[in-house]
């Protein structure tokens, strides 16, 4: 328990540090930011001065941070200039869209990688494993930008899938079942791109972790006792290989919000990625801070999640922390 | 055969240690600081030209003692007198002056030599660091040092990884002698070598002591080896010296339990040093 | 020494690939800024060896493209006149390696234009732009990686060697940086700097930004190496000879970090090239008219281009052989490291 509390405390400190750092970044060039705004004909000089006063840009930095932090704790993350709405609801909607994509593709990727990785590890060094190695290498070396664009080009030329967006034009008028189908159809391309970009590395890691365990002396001893192969694999090998895999899974959870930025932009999926990009280009300060903080939250949370899973799964960590 | 003990000779001791204390504290962000007392009021003297053996189990504080004496660590308390000069609490620059005079030979010959450097580089390093010698002088000294420890000059170009354990330890000794130190501290220097090699290196050390008048502080867990090489033995346990005296007395009339246990651990069947038989 | 040969092989392949890009002026038939407004969005020309009269030619040749009858954007080959590919012809001026004025190119055409990868909206040869764009992207990746490693080395060495409060502070800082999503951080930093700057300034800006973002992991790795090297007996022995901190770091400790830095470099360089590509693709990197692999792809954001002009996608694949080379290098470095470790352990056991 104390171990978990300590990790939680650590994570909170980390988040606080990140928020301070992000704030520091944005504060380092306030002049430039408002200069760019001044050049934008849509924003009048009065708005600029009003905004400056409203957000207290005239006040010293620590005060600004504290006031922003306190509003954050009330659930408010500032105001978006470009969308003319509070930031928090905006972020939540987009985050939901992103998570729809990333959760699906993460689950799919793991569902494919685990059996394939185990299969490769069992046949380590032999032809099927070599083929797997080469196959993953081929997809590893194709950058995800190329993957996403390539899929887009293919789909456009074949006309099979809708090219981008999350919903067709007549979405609202569809029956619930058709709505689901429409959503699924729009999801196919981005999910494929995400899965293809994360699968090779995942397979390699799973294979490496399982192969390490399969060559361990204790497993050899166990098989010498005549334990059948299936049992060996599932009840002896996999639990031992769990540690690196759990950490990896924690990492997968961590990048749920931030890992799909590029693919969302390319496929015009209305997720957190495109929002952040627009906000960056439009100098929409609070959206950027909010977006970064949100994804950092997931990253730190993912690590924490992995730590907790490890604590629960690995008796060694439990005894070690109790011994302290 | 050992050189006769020179204890009681009326000379100023080369090294005098008084109530040396070394405390390590581990501070973590949350929780109490842990303290570990490595040296607990250690006192002894070493006369020039003699060998003091410090014997004890692992964890008794021997290596910490070596580090403090060689000015690689600062003691928490107490004093060290080297040639009449107090060296325990010097500042860094003065320390750097003292260090060449007290040299350390380590247990693992492989890790005490930089594996990427050639033998010549290894030998030259102390000379280069002192900045007193020209290139030609360094080459000459290097060759003569090799000769002194019984290594052939063709080893100059080789890498330490190509040498055997005994050869590497000879190289370490040669390097330590480069700066003509007054005191040589051998921290378990023979423990990692094969038995026959141990004897060879021990003999080399003895020969060097008699020809160069070296003073040794010999740290070991092996009482038999200590008896073979030393004039005096000090027994350490948990950071304190529990018993100290001339070799014969320690071996024949051990007073403390620790000493008796160490004696009992010496295998009787193997060659006992001649000094034990009397 | 199979590991050594594999390493050498990958190194050679990478050098060859980089060499082609470094000598882009020689290998590219045209200047990347040269426009051919009369031929926008020309599809790639095909190389032939046998013409329509079934004659085999000694050299490959192409047919120039003309507009199909009654079409505004469909092209077909003008099979009337085969244009033989010339090797080492005289062409546009360029500076080899940046300073040697040259006019010889690797290949080209006498009387017509050769567009092996098609043209873009302004009629610029995509192959030439690809090669020159490679210079920008690769150099960005290399410089950025160099910067990161330098930063990581300094910070890691200070943290590992001096320890104490410096170590704690720097390690907390590195945790912070590692907790931030990399790509987001990159975008954010880039975005909060002036957006509309000259290509050269933009280039150095993104190199700096990319370099700063990734220092945390190399720093931690360097710190680990320094921590263990600091305790090695040969370092303590050198201190016993009167060595100063600077000497120890310079002669004993930092050389130990070389293998860690090398493996990090091989991993970071392709990542950073990709980062530059991503930034430029989204308009945050190197701006037009300077080509880079990223901004060559930015036209694909228009639906019309996506549908009709598939060859604009090809620069996306330019990175693939480089990625493959770096991947191969990384894994053979790993194998060599493992083999070397085994060897030295065996040798150690012999004594």
Mutation site for B-interface testing, chosen from C167, C225, C232, C242 by largest number of B Cβ within 10 Å = C242
Beta-strand pair B51-56/B232-237: parallel
DSSP state of B134: -
Per-residue pLDDT at A98: 92
Instruction: Please tell me the distance from the alpha carbon of residue B181 to that of residue B184, in angstroms, as a whole number.
Output: 7
Per-residue pLDDT at B278: 46
Partner A contacted by C319 (CB < 8 A): yes
Q: Secondary structure of chain C in the HEC alphabet?
A: CHHHHHHHHHHHHHHHHHHHHHCHHHHCCCCCCCCCCCCCCCCCCCCEEECCCCCEEEEEEEEEEEECCCCCCCEEEEEEEEEEEEECCEEEEEEECCCEEEEECCEEECCCCCCCCCECCCCCEHHHHHHHHHHHHHHHHHHHHHHHHHHHHHHHHHHHHHCHHHHHHHHHHHHHHHHCCHHHHHHHHHHCCCCCCCHHHHHHHHHHHHHHHCCHHHHHHHHHHHHHHHCCHHHHHHHHCCCCHHHHHHHHHHHHHHHHHHHHHHHHHHHHHHHHHHHHHCCCCCCCCCCCHHHHCHHHHCHHHHHHCHHHHHHHHCHHHHHHHHHHHHHHHHHHHHHHHHHHHHHHHHC
Give the nearest partner residue to C316 out of A28, A150, A291, using CB atoms: A150
A301 vs C98 pLDDT, higher one? A301
What does the pLDDT average to over B216-232?
86
H-only helix segments in B55-98: 62-69, 92-98
Partner C contacted by B100 (CB < 8 A): yes
Cβ pair B161:C237 closer than 8 A = no
Residue B9 has pLDDT above 70, yes or no: no
Our measurement of the distance from residue B267's CA atom to the centroid of its chain's CA atoms, rounded to an integer in Å, reads 24
Beta-strand pair B34-46/B15-26: antiparallel
| Residues C159-194 pLDDT 10s | 999 988 899 899 988 988 887 778 877 877 777 777
A159, two tokens: 């006309």
Per-residue pLDDT at B6: 43
Instruction: Please tell me the distance from the alpha carbon of residue B52 to that of residue B258, in angstroms, as a whole number.
Output: 18
| DSSP-derived 3-state class of residue B20 | strand
Q: Rounded to whole angstroms, what are the CA distances from B36 to B1, B239, C104?
A: 40, 10, 75
Which of C223-237, C253-267, C300-314 is predicted least confidently?
C300-314
> To the nearest whole number, what is the mean pLDDT of chain A?
81
Question: Which among B157, B181, B159, B63 has a CA at the least distance from the CA of B110?
Answer: B159
Instruction: Please tell me the distance from the alpha carbon of residue C211 to that of residue C204, in angstroms, as a whole number.
Output: 10
Confidence label for C221 from pLDDT (cuts 50, 70 and 90)? very high
Residue C1 has pLDDT above 70, yes or no: no
**CB contacts, 8 Å: C236 with chain B:** 67, 72, 104, 106
Cβ pair C188:A292 closer than 8 A = yes
Q: Of A290-294, C144-148, C228-232, which one has max mean pLDDT?
A: C144-148
Per-residue pLDDT at C351: 41
Percent of chain A with pLDDT over 90: 9
**CB contacts, 8 Å: B166 with chain C:** 351
Give the nearest partner residue to A280 out of C188, C307, C324, using CB atoms: C188
Closest residue of A to C326, CA-based?
A141
**CB contacts, 8 Å: C193 with chain A:** 29, 32
Beta-strand pair C75-87/C107-109: antiparallel
B255 vs C269 pLDDT, higher one? C269
Question: Which among C137, C144, C133, C135 has a CA at the least distance from the CA of C273?
Answer: C137
A198 vs A258 pLDDT, higher one? A198
What does the pLDDT average to over C147-165?
92
Which of A46-60, A131-145, A281-295, C85-99 is predicted least confidently?
A46-60
Those chains having 3 or more beta-carbon pairs within 8 angstroms of chain A are C
Confidence label for B4 from pLDDT (cuts 50, 70 and 90)? very low
Cβ pair A29:C193 closer than 8 A = yes
Cβ pair A143:C176 closer than 8 A = no
What stretch of H or E contains B176?
helix B165-177
Chain C segment 122-141 residues within 8 A of A by beta carbon are none
Question: Which among B45, B48, B103, B39 has a CA at the least distance from the CA of B70?
Answer: B103
C90, two tokens: 């005289």
Rounded to a whole number of angstroms, the distance between the first and last alpha carbons of chain C is: 23
Those chains having 3 or more beta-carbon pairs within 8 angstroms of chain C are A, B
Percent of chain A with pLDDT over 70: 89
Cβ pair C297:A296 closer than 8 A = no
Question: What are the start-end ranges of the E strands in B74-195?
Answer: 77-82, 85-86, 102-105, 183-187
> To the nearest whole number, what is the mean pLDDT of chain C?
85
Cβ pair C233:B70 closer than 8 A = no
Residue A29 has pLDDT above 60, yes or no: no
Question: Which among B49, B53, B50 has a CA at the least distance from the CA of B62?
Answer: B53
Per-residue pLDDT at B56: 82
Q: CA of A149 to nearest chain C CA: how many angstroms apart?
A: 7
Confidence label for A56 from pLDDT (cuts 50, 70 and 90)? low
Chain C segment 255-284 residues within 8 A of A by beta carbon are 274, 277-278, 281-284
Per-residue pLDDT at B30: 56
B–C CB contacts, 8 A cutoff, strictly below: 61
Per-residue pLDDT at C84: 79
Residue C246 has pLDDT above 60, yes or no: yes
Residue B104 has pLDDT above 80, yes or no: yes
Confidence label for C322 from pLDDT (cuts 50, 70 and 90)? very high
What does the pLDDT average to over C341-350?
60
Give the nearest partner residue to B99 out of C232, C241, C351, using CB atoms: C241
What does the pLDDT average to over A120-137?
86
Residue B136 has pLDDT above 70, yes or no: yes
Confidence label for A258 from pLDDT (cuts 50, 70 and 90)? confident
| Residues A190-221 pLDDT 10s | 999 999 999 998 999 998 888 888 888 888 88
Across-strand partners of B82? B15, B85
Those chains having 3 or more beta-carbon pairs within 8 angstroms of chain B are C
Cβ pair A292:C274 closer than 8 A = no
Cβ pair A25:C188 closer than 8 A = yes
Q: List b or e across C131-153, with b for residues whose CB sees 16 or more CB atoms inside 10 angstroms.
A: bbbbbbbbbbbbbbbbbbbebbb
Residue A31 has pLDDT above 50, yes or no: no
Q: Rounded to whole angstroms, what are the CA distances from B38 to A72, A209, B24, C136?
A: 51, 41, 7, 59
Burial of residue B79 (number of CB atoms within 10 Å: 0-12, 13-18, 19+):
middle
Per-residue pLDDT at C220: 93
| Residues C55-70 pLDDT 10s | 787 778 888 787 777 7
What does the pLDDT average to over C248-264?
90
Confidence label for B275 from pLDDT (cuts 50, 70 and 90)? low
| Residues A278-302 pLDDT 10s | 887 777 777 888 888 888 888 888 8
H-only helix segments in chain A: 2-28, 30-39, 45-54, 61-73, 87-122, 127-140, 144-158, 176-214, 217-224, 229-231, 238-254, 261-266, 272-282, 285-313, 315-323
| Residues B145-189 pLDDT 10s | 888 888 888 888 888 888 888 888 889 988 888 888 889 999 888
Question: Which among C267, C269, C287, C268 has a CA at the least distance from the CA of C190?
Answer: C287
Confidence label for A113 from pLDDT (cuts 50, 70 and 90)? very high
Question: Which among C169, C271, C163 has a CA at the least distance from the CA of C224?
Answer: C163
Compute how many other C-beta atoms are within 10 angstroms of the C-beta atom of residue C342.
10
Cβ pair C238:B129 closer than 8 A = yes
Residue B263 has pLDDT above 60, yes or no: yes
Per-residue pLDDT at A300: 84
For chain B, the domains span 15-265
Cβ pair B96:C348 closer than 8 A = no
Per-residue pLDDT at A16: 82
Rounded to a whole number of angstroms, the distance between the first and last alpha carbons of chain B is: 14
**CB contacts, 8 Å: B118 with chain C:** none
Closest residue of C to A27, CA-based?
C192
Per-residue pLDDT at C144: 93
Instruction: Please tell me the distance from the alpha carbon of residue B184 to that of residue B100, in angstroms, as a whole number.
Output: 10
What stretch of H or E contains B122?
helix B119-130
Is the separation of the CB atoms in B55 and B262 below 8 Å? yes
B3 vs B234 pLDDT, higher one? B234
A56, two tokens: 């207290």
Instruction: Please tell me the distance from the alpha carbon of residue A233 to that of residue A235, in angstroms, as a whole number.
Output: 6
Q: Rounded to whole angstroms, what are the CA distances from A319 to A236, A311, C241?
A: 20, 10, 45
Q: Rounded to whole angstroms, what are the CA distances from C312 to A82, C259, C317, C323?
A: 32, 40, 11, 20
**CB contacts, 8 Å: A29 with chain C:** 192-193
Q: List b or e across A76-108, with b for residues whose CB sees 16 or more CB atoms inside 10 angstroms.
A: ebbbbbebeebbbebbeebbebbbbbbebbbeb
What does the pLDDT average to over A175-195?
87
Give the nearest partner residue to C233 out of B96, B111, B166, using CB atoms: B111
Confidence label for B64 from pLDDT (cuts 50, 70 and 90)? confident
Q: Is the peptide bond before A153 cis (omega within 30 degrees of 0)?
A: no
> To the nearest whole number, what is the mean pLDDT of chain B?
81
Per-residue pLDDT at A38: 66
Q: Domain B15-265: what homologous superfamily?
A: P-loop containing nucleotide triphosphate hydrolases (3.40.50.300)
Give the nearest partner residue to A152 out of C281, C306, C319, using CB atoms: C306
Partner A contacted by C242 (CB < 8 A): no
Instruction: Please tell me the distance from the alpha carbon of residue B36 to that of residue B64, in angstroms, as a whole number.
Output: 12
| Residues C4-53 pLDDT 10s | 888 889 999 999 999 999 888 888 888 888 888 888 888 888 888 877 77
Per-residue pLDDT at C146: 94
Instruction: Please tell me the distance from the alpha carbon of residue C256 to that of residue C222, in angstroms, as a whole number.
Output: 9
Partner C contacted by B18 (CB < 8 A): no
């Amino acid at each position: 328990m104390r171990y978990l509390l300590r990790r939680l405390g650590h994570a909170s400190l980390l988040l606080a540090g990140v928020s301070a750092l992000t704030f520091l970044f944005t504060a380092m060039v306030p002049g430039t930011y408002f200069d760019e705004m001044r050049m934008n004909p849509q924003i009048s000089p009065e708005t600029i001065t009003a905004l400056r006063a409203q957000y207290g840009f005239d006040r010293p930095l620590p005060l600004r941070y504290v006031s922003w932090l306190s509003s954050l704790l009330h659930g408010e993350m500032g105001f978006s200039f470009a969308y003319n709405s509070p930031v928090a609801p905006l972020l939540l909607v987009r985050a939901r869209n992103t998570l729809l994509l990333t959760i699906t593709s993460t689950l799919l990727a793991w569902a494919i990688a685990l059996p394939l990785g185990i299969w490769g590890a069992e046949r380590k060094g032999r032809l099927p494993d070599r083929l797997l190695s080469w196959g993953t290498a081929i997809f590893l070396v194709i950058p995800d930008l190329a993957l996403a664009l390539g899929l887009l080009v293919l789909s456009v030329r074949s006309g099979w899938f809708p090219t981008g967006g999350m919903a067709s034009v007549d979405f609202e008028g569809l029956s619930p079942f058709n709505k689901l189908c429409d959503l699924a159809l729009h999801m196919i391309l981005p999910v494929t791109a995400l899965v293809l970009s994360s699968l090779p590395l995942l397979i390699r890691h799973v294979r490496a972790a399982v192969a390490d365990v399969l060559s361990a002396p204790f497993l050899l001893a166990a098989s010498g006792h005549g334990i059948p192969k299936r049992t060996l694999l599932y009840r002896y090998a996999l639990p031992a290989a769990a540690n690196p895999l759990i950490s990896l899974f924690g990492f997968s959870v961590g990048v749920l919000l931030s890992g799909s930025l590029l693919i969302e932009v390319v496929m015009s999926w209305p997720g957190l990625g495109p929002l952040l990009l627009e906000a960056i280009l439009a100098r929409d300060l609070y959206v950027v801070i909010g977006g970064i903080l949100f994804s950092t939250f997931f990253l730190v949370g993912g690590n924490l999640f992995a730590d907790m899973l490890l604590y629960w799964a690995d008796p060694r960590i439990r005894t070690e922390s109790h011994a302290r | 055969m050992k050189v006769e003990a020179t204890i009681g000779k009326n000379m100023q001791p080369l090294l005098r240690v008084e109530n040396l204390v070394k405390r390590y504290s581990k501070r973590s962000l949350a929780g109490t600081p842990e303290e570990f007392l490595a040296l607990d009021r250690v006192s002894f003297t070493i006369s020039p030209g003699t060998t003091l053996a410090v014997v004890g189990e692992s964890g008794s504080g021997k290596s910490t003692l070596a580090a403090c004496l060689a000015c690689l660590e600062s003691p928490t308390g107490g004093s060290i007198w080297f040639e009449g000069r107090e060296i325990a609490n010097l500042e860094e620059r003065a320390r750097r002056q003292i260090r060449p005079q007290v040299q350390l030979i380590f247990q693992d010959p492989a890790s005490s030599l930089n594996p990427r450097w050639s033998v010549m580089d290894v030998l030259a390093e102390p000379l280069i660091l002192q900045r007193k010698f020209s290139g030609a002088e360094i080459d000459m000294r290097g060759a003569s040092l090799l000769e002194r420890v019984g290594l052939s000059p063709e080893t100059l170009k080789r890498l330490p990884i190509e040498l055997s354990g005994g050869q590497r330890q000879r190289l370490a000794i040669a390097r330590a002698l480069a700066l003509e130190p007054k005191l040589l501290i051998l921290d378990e220097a023979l423990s990692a070598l094969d038995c026959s090699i141990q004897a060879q290196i021990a003999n080399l050390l003895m020969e060097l002591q008699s020809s160069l008048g070296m003073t040794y502080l010999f740290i070991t867990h092996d009482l038999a080896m200590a008896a073979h090489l030393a004039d005096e033995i000090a027994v350490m346990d948990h950071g304190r010296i529990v018993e100290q005296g001339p070799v014969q007395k320690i071996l024949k009339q051990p007073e403390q339990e620790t000493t008796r246990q160490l004696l009992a651990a010496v295998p009787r069947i193997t060659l006992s040093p001649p000094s034990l038989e009397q | 020494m199979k590991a050594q040969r594999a390493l050498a092989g990958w190194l050679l392949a990478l050098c060859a690939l980089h060499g082609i890009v470094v000598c882009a002026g020689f290998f590219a038939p045209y200047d990347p800024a040269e426009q051919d407004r009369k031929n926008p969005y020309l599809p790639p020309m095909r190389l032939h060896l046998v013409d329509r009269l079934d004659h085999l030619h000694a050299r490959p040749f192409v047919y120039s493209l003309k507009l199909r009858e009654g079409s505004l954007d469909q092209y077909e080959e003008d099979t009337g006149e085969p244009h033989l590919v010339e090797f080492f012809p005289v062409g546009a001026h360029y500076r080899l390696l940046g300073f040697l004025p040259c006019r010889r190119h690797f290949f080209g055409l006498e009387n017509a234009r050769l567009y092996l990868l098609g043209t873009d909206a302004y009629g610029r040869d995509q192959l030439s732009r690809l090669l020159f764009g490679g210079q920008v992207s690769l150099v960005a990746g290399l410089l950025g990686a160099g910067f990161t490693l330098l930063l990581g080395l300094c910070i890691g060495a200070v943290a590992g060697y001096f320890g104490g409060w410096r170590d704690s502070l720097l390690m907390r800082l590195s945790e912070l940086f590692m907790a931030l999503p990399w790509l987001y951080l990159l975008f954010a930093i880039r975005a909060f700097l002036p957006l509309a700057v000259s290509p050269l300034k933009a280039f150095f800006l993104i190199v700096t930004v990319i370099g700063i973002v990734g220092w945390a992991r190399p720093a931690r790795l360097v710190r680990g190496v320094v921590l263990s090297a600091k305790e090695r007996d040969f370092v303590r022995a050198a201190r016993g000879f009167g060595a100063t901190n600077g000497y120890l770091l310079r002669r004993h400790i930092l050389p130990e970090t070389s293998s860690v830095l090398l493996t990090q470099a091989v991993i970071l360089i392709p990542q950073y090239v990709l980062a530059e590509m991503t930034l430029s693709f989204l308009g945050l990197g190197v701006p037009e008219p300077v080509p880079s692999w990223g901004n060559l792809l930015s036209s694909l954001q228009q639906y019309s281009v996506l549908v009709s002009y598939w060859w604009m996608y090809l620069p996306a694949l330019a990175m693939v052989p480089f990625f493959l080379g770096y991947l191969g290098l990384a894994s053979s470095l790993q194998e060599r490291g493992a083999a070397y470790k085994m060897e030295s352990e065996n040798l150690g056991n012999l004594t």
